[in-house]
A = this chain, B = another copy of it.
Amino acid sequence: MKTRWKYLSLLLLIATGVLGFAGVLRAEDVAAAPDLATQVAELQTKLGDSKIAADTVWVLITAMLVFFMNLGFAMVESGFARAKNCVNILSKNFMVFAASSIAFWALGWGLMFGDGNGFAGLSGLWFLNGADNSPASGDAYQGVYSSISWATVPFLAKFFFQLVFAGTAATIVSGAVAERIKYGSFIIFSFVLVGLLYPVTGHWIWGGGWLAKLGFWDFAGSTVVHSVGGWAALAGVVVLGPRFGKYGKDGKVNAIPGHNLTSGTIGVLILWLGWFGFNPGSTMAAVPGDIARICVTTNMAAAAALLTSTIVSWMFLGKPDLGMSINGCLAGLVAITAPCAWVSVGSSFIIGAIAGVIVVFLVLMFDKLKLDDPVGALAVHLGNGVFGTICVGLFAQDQFAPGTTGNGLLFGGGTKLLMAQLTGVGAVAVFTFTAAFIAFWAIKATVGLRVTLEEEIEGLDIGEHGQSAYPEFVTKKASHQMLSAMVNAGVPVATSSRIKQGSAV
């Protein structure tokens, strides 16, 4: 027995020793494991950095496309106006982005995205001076711009993207007030709009303000950018009054054709391109499924609107007018801007198709109301900015971004979302129109808003800038025709010796 025990115990000893040693050896095999953990942690950090890099590339490049829309607006607006005002419009559209950059840097950003109350941002107001540890996001975020802390890109990428958006709002105004506003006065208004007005309503919606809390949704800015620009433009149009010669005494509306449809077409195609930054870029992250879908909904709305606006203008105006097609396309793009991320491709087609019809009748309507808008900015940006915002309440589908908009009315979501959208439309209308009206009125009462009648007839290029856009080309004497119209209209031309000289030519 004893010997058996001995051998048994020896056997067991050896066996367990071997087993134990094997355990050690197996563990030796994974001797790298502690290193592995470190490596995996490193990989996680690097992969996070990689995502930040991809998101930043996406945000910056789409921001560049939105920046490029400045050229698009400059071309559409100058092309739709007369040659004698071309330098002025180009100058305004060029300078306005400089004004926007400075105003949004100095104050606008802080008012819009700074932590504050439901009405405006109150932290980090001046020159981006608030704390911010972006690209840290979510719970890791520490700073005073919490409302945009969901975006996983560096702080200045956020600023750059939002800056080019702010610039767009100001550019919209430019077209509506063209051919009669003083250059300097427009620039002053742009500082006010981008530094003060745009950021306030922007705070309500994108800055975590009261409309955001109410459940109002605007993905890329049908309201935040386009209808805000539109309401400000409307205020300008009301304060300025129509261009000389636009509306006859007998109520007749005189068409004033644009001087360069090549410019107009360059403009609209650059804007269409720019919208592929505007809408898909508003994800502020390179989320494959979302950005691809938004590209397609954006494009489909533009295509549908281009088609329907052309057909409608063909049917109602007799021929397919290129100007109407251009504004139709832009209308579709404005309308899809708010809902682009939350609707199906089919819905985007319908939204665009309706926008293309709406814009034609809105252009006619604004003319009936004697609201003189040389480029159709009110019909495009105001009218379809409102329409697009409402479309969120109609066409949104929860499936595209669970937990955000929920379903719109047409997809079984009831009227709750629609009501929130309508509330937002109304609130932004009241605030922006009123504030812009006061601003325009204050400028008018101080430095003056409108050029003299003489200058308007001669053209703002000579009057405001002392130069001509095309000095070597012979143009039909628009000023001469204007003068005749003026005489017919009973304007006391005798008071102006300069115009007399003009009439002699």
Least distance between A243 CB and chain B CB atoms (Å) = 15
Within 8 A of B (CB), among A160-208: 160, 163, 183
A20 touches which one: B16, B157, B160, B299 (CB < 8 A)? B16
Q: Does A322 contact B (CB under 8 A)?
A: yes
Asked if A490 is at the interface of the complex by the 8 Å CB criterion, the answer is no
Within 8 A of B (CB), among A36-91: 36-37, 39-40, 43-44, 46-47, 49-58, 60-61, 63-65, 67-68, 70-71, 74-75, 78, 82-83, 86-87, 90-91
Q: A94 at the A/B interface (Cβ < 8 Å)?
A: yes
- Do A24 and B19 contact each other (CB < 8 Å), given the known contacts A29-B34, A318-B466? yes
CB contact between A472 and one of B78, B82, B183, B472 (< 8 Å): that residue = B82
Kindly provide the distance from the CB of A194 to the nearest chain B CB, expressed in whole angstroms.
12
Q: How far is the CA of A36 from the CA of B29 in the complex (A)?
A: 12
Chain B nearest CB, measured from A356 CB (Å): 10
Pair A94/B325 contact, Cβ less than 8 Å:
yes
What CA separation (Å) do A93 and B262 show in the bound complex? 12
**Complex-state Cα separation, A345 to B37, whole angstroms:** 40
The complex places the Cα of A7 from the Cα of B467 at a distance, in Å, of 111
Q: Which of B65, B90, B163, B323 contacts A262 (CB 8 A)?
A: B90
Residue of B19, B98, B157, B345 touching A128 (CB-CB under 8 A): B345
**Are A29 and B32 CB-contacts (below 8 A) given A98-B306, A156-B292?**
no
- Knowing A101-B300, A288-B154 touch, does A473 contact B475 (C-beta < 8 A)? yes
Q: Taking the complex as formed, is A147 at the interface, i.e. its CB lies under 8 A from any CB of chain B?
A: no
Taking A47-B43, A273-B68, A474-B473 as contacts, is the C-beta distance between A160 and B295 under 8 angstroms? yes
Cβ of A431 within 8 Å of any chain B Cβ, yes or no, is no
Partner of A57, one of B57, B71, B262: B57
A159 at the interface (CB under 8 A from B): yes
CA distance A83 to B270 in the complex (A): 22
CB-based nearest B residue for A463: B319
On chain B, the residues within 8 Å of A159 by CB distance are 296
Is A154 a contact partner of B475 (Cβ separation < 8 A)? Answer: no
Given contacts A9-B13, A33-B32, A156-B296, contact A471 B43 (CB under 8 A): no
Asked if A102 CB lies within 8 Å of chain B CBs, one says yes
Bound complex: CA of A12 vs CA of B52, how far in Å? 56
Evaluate whether A53 and B51 lie within 8 angstroms (CB atoms) in the complex, with A154-B289, A475-B473 already known.
yes
Are A74 and B269 in contact, with the CB atoms below 8 A?
Answer: yes
Quick one: CB contact mask for A351-379 with B, threshold 8 Å, 1 for yes?
00000000000000000000000000000
A303 pairs with B102, CB closer than 8 A: yes
A96, chain B: closest CB distance, angstroms:
10
Find chain B residues with CB under 8 A from A473 CB. Answer: 83, 259, 470, 473-476
Chain B residues contacting A5 (CB-CB under 8 Å) are: 6
Distance between A104 CB and nearest chain B CB, rounded to angstroms: 10
Q: How many Å lie between the Cα of A320 and that of B87 in the bound state?
A: 11
A273 to B71, CA, bound (A): 10
CB of A29 within 8 A of CB of B27, answer yes
Q: Does A145 contact B (CB under 8 A)?
A: no
B-side contacts of A323, CB under 8 Å = 467
For A137, the chain B residues whose CB sits under 8 A away are none
* Nearest CB of chain B from residue A24's CB, rounded to whole Å: 4
Query: Is residue A21 within 8 Å, beta carbon to beta carbon, of the partner chain?
Result: yes
**Bound complex: CA A68 to CA B273 (Å):** 6
Q: Is the CB of B87 within 8 A of A307?
A: no
Residues of B within 8 A of A476 (CB): 471-474
A445-489 at interface with B (beta carbon < 8 Å): 464-476, 478
14 A–B contacts, CB within 8 A, in A order: A17-B20, A20-B24, A23-B23, A23-B24, A27-B30, A29-B33, A53-B288, A54-B57, A98-B306, A102-B300, A154-B289, A156-B345, A470-B473, A473-B474
List 15 extra interface pairs beyond A6-B9, A98-B303, CB under 8 A: A5-B6, A20-B22, A21-B23, A54-B54, A75-B266, A90-B261, A93-B265, A94-B306, A157-B291, A160-B292, A163-B299, A262-B263, A318-B466, A319-B465, A473-B475
Counting from the closest, the 7 A-B pairs by CB-CB distance are A23-B23, A20-B20, A26-B27, A157-B292, A16-B17, A101-B303, A30-B33
